Chain A
Amino acid sequence: MKGLTVSLGKRNRVLPIIVAIALALTGCSKGSSDKASGEINIFLIPSPSSTSIQSFIPEFEKQTGIKVNFSETPYGEAHQKQLLSYNQKAGAYDIAQFDNSFLAPFCQAKAMLPLDSYISKSKEYDIGDFSQAQQDYGKCKGETLGLTLSTEPMIQWYRTDIYEKLGLTPAKTWDEYYNNAKKIQASGSGGQIMGFGPNVSWWWMTLVWSFGGQLYDDNLNPTVNSKEAVAATDYLKKLIAVSPKGAITANGDDVTSRFLGEDIGAMLNYSGYYGMALDEKINKNKGKIGTAPMPIGAADITHLAGWNIGIPSDAKNPDAAWKFLEFVFGKTNAKAYLQSGAAAIGRQSIINDAELVATNPYLPQLTISASSRVERYPQIAVWPEFETAAIDAVSQVLTGKKATQAALDALNEKLKPILAKEPRG
């Protein structure tokens, strides 16, 4: 009798578990079929752009009946997680946000779906409303793997009050930029700020390009020890003397928050950081922040950075995903998207809109002159390793551990086997 009770008890416990598993499996399969008919999953990386995208979800769901799920993954592990997912062909995401520096590895892995057929048919997206540089921003080997999610050229930021007081104008050349900083420093404020710390590569490569150099040639031979690269690195080192002391360890965020929160005359940084200037908790100098194009060196270049967003190759619902991209980034919602706090995409029809410029005075800087050569993060899969080696070498110069030429010669040698690993063709 006892045995029977025990046996029934066990069955009583086991049965609900079996039923639950069966229901869960049924639920899963039902979910999958629903998903194919009208559900998309979006992979986002925390940023003002991500927040803005999320704000459009309810209206999109209402208009289309397509259910939108999203998840956010911090920048540090976002691309690794995406690569793992694409590698497993898990079909976990229908839309994914990614940094342009990962376009090359994604391209190499054929991880993203070419969007050209969607773009060419879409009047709502209207690719012609973007400059050529912006149209090319998400392209790899002639195919558009990602839409431009933000257009962030490296620009000059300056404190209008300090410049006015000292009778300065935004620099047009690198000599002027240094001299302005020197005068500002002599007046008691911080001269200028750049990130000489873990992101020093952003500024270093900008200067190398602007001074007329290249990081590598067409055959992927490193050229970081050219006389132009040496001059650019020496100039970067010279700027330390007119920067606040802590800039030597500052990263991109530190630089921006210090410029906005302290008395520092100028900063060279990506326009995408302007979102921080709109935050009064960070920006203690509201109404005193001006922007201007980056000074010009031996070459007229625009260093363009920013996010991309695209559809992974293994997406389960690419058509619904495109509908969403068209809805958020199309012409109809272009203004609303920017007003929701996102970094500007760079749609030409709105960058001179008076209402938008009043709140985002940097917008006109997104007009990239046709004469300016556009440079973006090197489109090579080995870039992370290249960048780490470059940061190490430049840091040795900036901290006085090595002479510029010696450090860059050593870097050039170190980069040869790294670039040799890059797949050709």
Chain B
Amino acid sequence: MGLVGTLTRKQRRLTRPIGHYTLGTWVLLALTILVPLLYGIYISLLDINLASFLAPQFVGLKNYTTALQASETWSTLRITIALMFLGMIVQIPCGIILAVALHQQLRGTKIFRSILITPMLLTPVAVGLTFRFMFDTDLGVINWFIGKLGIESVNWLGSQTSGLVAIVIVDSWQSIPFVMLLILAALSAIPTSLFEAATVDGASNRQVFRLITAPLITPTLLVIVMIKIMDFLKLFDTIFMLTRGGPGNATTTLGLWTYKTGFVFLELSRAAALGVIILIITMPVYFLWRKSTRNVR
């Protein structure tokens, strides 16, 4: 007590608990994340419909049971998972190949690196709209190009399979640079002495990749997989611009279905329940992500 009394104002300020400095951030985070989250959970237990001006009633878990019984919830979840797998099968190998190529520090690497990250800088809405025109069956440049190769034009956005492929192509075009950058960072962190020693020992390129590169970038790969899973669970803008979830609901993901429920059907409480369901699905992925990041340098 006596010691505190002798401290100057500046010293007292410096000896404040660390929590005092982060309080503002916590309040901001609580207002922007925690409060909306809790409010979302709260309204998921009511029966709010934007077109009904009746006072909301507490309905307990009814919105959850309705959502879980609806065939669309499961079909859109299947579509989300299908997109996730297709996307990762394309994006992770391509990202690794590009990162390994850039890591060789060949001539023009800097220019290529700049060019390759450009798609990542564009807004998904603009990209989706541009690709929508490119995928047009009659006027699109993609069908024009494959027509030049003698292949019959594809109705890209007119069926479920080709629609999903189109979404994966567009998302991959934007996401591969992100995967590439993370892998490149992981590769840069590997000591060059390991590669030099392997070369002296006469290891082939394939052996170097299998025995040195792959094990050392695995923790980063795990992080990428987790981030991509979360990305696909919330993928919205690209699909909205490209197919609007169509034809019918054939390319509608769980996120897009939640949007339709809330803003097209005006069933706000049911949409909130779907949002909470997405959150519950994402939670284990989040904890895995936290665990995997511990091993990343």
Contact = CB atoms under 8 A, between A and B. Distances in A.
Interface of A: 77, 80, 83-84, 86-87, 105, 108-111, 197-198, 244-246, 248-249, 381-382, 384-385, 388, 391-396, 398-399, 401, 414
Nearest to B154: A245
Contact of A80 (B248, B249, B266): B266
Contacts, number: 84
Contacts of B50: 80, 83-84, 87
Interface of B: 50-53, 71, 136-139, 153, 155, 157-160, 243-244, 246-250, 260, 263-267
Given A108-B51, A109-B51, A110-B53, A384 B246 contact: no
A110 B54 CA distance: 11
Given A384-B264, A385-B265, A395-B248, A249 B158 contact: yes
Contacts of B267: 385
A115 to B, nearest CB: 20
Contact of A394 (B53, B248, B264): B248
Contacts of A398: 247
11 contacts: A77-B263, A83-B266, A109-B52, A197-B246, A198-B244, A246-B137, A246-B158, A249-B155, A249-B158, A249-B246, A399-B160
A240 to B, nearest CB: 10
B51 A249 contact: no
A384 B265 contact: yes
Given A80-B263, A384-B266, A388-B249, 14 more contacts: A77-B263, A80-B266, A83-B50, A109-B52, A110-B53, A246-B158, A248-B155, A249-B155, A381-B52, A385-B267, A392-B250, A398-B247, A399-B159, A401-B250
Nearest to B263: A80
- Would you list the 6 A-B pairs with minimal beta carbon distance, nearest first? A395-B248, A392-B248, A105-B51, A395-B247, A246-B137, A248-B158
Contacts of A245: 137-138, 153, 155, 158
Contact of B249 (A83, A108, A197, A392): A392
Contacts of B71: 414
B246 A388 contact: no
Contact of A391 (B157, B248, B263): B248
A80 B262 CA distance: 10
Given A197-B247, A246-B136, A105 B266 contact: yes
B157 A249 contact: yes
Contacts of B250: 392, 395-396, 399, 401
Nearest to B53: A109
Contacts of A110: 53
Contacts of B246: 197-198, 249, 391, 395
B187 to A, nearest CB: 42
A5 B136 CA distance: 70
A396 B248 contact: yes
B52 to A, nearest CB: 7
A399 B247 contact: yes
Nearest to A83: B50
Contacts of B155: 245-246, 248-249
A249 B136 CA distance: 9
Given A248-B137, A249-B137, A388 B266 contact: no
- Which interface residue of B139, B158, B159 has the most chain A CB atoms within 10 A? B158
Contacts of B52: 108-109, 381
Contacts of A381: 51-52
B100 to A, nearest CB: 38
A249 B157 CA distance: 7
Nearest to B69: A417
Contacts of B139: 246
Contacts of B160: 399, 401
Contacts of A80: 50, 263, 266
A270 B158 CA distance: 23
A388 B247 contact: no
A234 to B, nearest CB: 17
B193 to A, nearest CB: 56
B48 to A, nearest CB: 10
A392 B139 CA distance: 25
Contacts of A384: 264-266
Contacts of B51: 83, 105, 108-109, 381
A68 B55 CA distance: 34
B62 to A, nearest CB: 12
